Structure 1
Amino acid sequence: MSELALDEMSVLSAIYCEKDEFELLEKSAEKGLVFRIQIEVEAATSERTLLSLLFQLPTEYPHCVPKISVSSKQLSRKQCQHIKQSLLEKASALEPDPMVHELLLWLQQNFTELTLNDQSLVEVQEEEYIHLQRTVKVDVDSSGKRCKEKMMRVLCETQVSDLKRISSFEIKEFLSLEELQREFEQVGLLKLYQEFVATLP
């Protein structure tokens, strides 16, 4: 493995020196250097997300890009894949020099944009869902025949800052208003429930 890679690892371990921030996992002639860095990144909403990034620097590094893996308990697998792909694209555009710290700085600076792009995709999927509900036979009428959902209506469209991330779309059935209220509370939307849902006849 190159002296540049060893020097970079030494610098990174000094920069990310807090507990659990940097961990060397492997140092071998076959795989090169493998280490994990955990960092907190902040979005425009001031929400902080803990990311775990696994880097493998092959023996040819920095003349080739590092292998990268991204994980987070606060993000979906799709979001982590999106961040990973963006980091690899950025790495490919850089000069063949030690680049891990530069990639981490770039991630911190562009995290909001990366998650906003992902949120835009979610919004498009929601509009696709609403359109299908009104144009495709997704329900059954009183006689058991399939029919379109014509009673559904959007109660509110707004931006919220304290919403907990929902990693997947799921249809749930509730037996009581109390259960429904608890679900709104769990994702940080109690105010929305009280203003729009609880007042429904």
Structure 2
Amino acid sequence: MKRKPETDGAVFRIHITAEGQVGEEVPLELLFRLPAGYPSCLPGVSVSSTHLTRAQCATAKEKLLEEARKLLSEPMIHELVLWIQQNLRHILSQPEAARSGEKPTWPETATDDGLWLTLLHLDHMRARTKYVRTVEKWAADLRLTGRLMFMGKTILILLQGDRSDIKEYLILQKTSKVDVDSSGKKCKEKMISVLSETKVQTEHKRFLAFEVKEYSTLEELQKEFETAGLRELFSECVLGLVK
């Protein structure tokens, strides 16, 4: 029986920060490749950071895989992300991570060509009407489809399109005065996080337009993801966020 390569499955690129050895914030890029048999078999894992050496990233990867083995047969990406955030400081203090003279590692570069799906989380929207209109305009200008989703205080943006256009959207999102602060002054978006970046096959294009939707229950939000064939994305990146 021919084994499908890991690259045939979904790829999740997750950006987080975790506490380092002396309490500093360490940015991490975690890359998870889900093989066809996931979660009954381990995901492919890559750890990179401009603040860590190659040895430190390798040790973090090994520890993540050890933790993943304890979670086989159940969705584990969200748990692994939380685990590395809580344990990075301890990992970096271990001897195998302390080899000197090595340069920091840069994030692994995936092929940018083709269709990508990116999931974003916003902390809040104070000037909601203006903010929503701006997001809709950016999506239209950049030929992006997807969803702007509201459920209670949870705000998610799903973007589908060329990766270069999604990157341009993120630049606009972070550099434009799109919201207002607590005093009513215009401000830039500082509370946005990238939950996932996934390359998808063109024939699996999931959204034909960009729509703004509001959900009254978690079940409605889950159904939106499942209808688009994004059950794994919901369970790995969204469920723990809204519970």
Give the TM-score of the pair, scaled to structure 1: 0.44
Higher strand proportion: 2
Q: Which has the higher contact order (CA 8 A, sep 6+)?
A: 2
Instruction: Choose 1 or 2 for highest CA Rg.
Output: 1
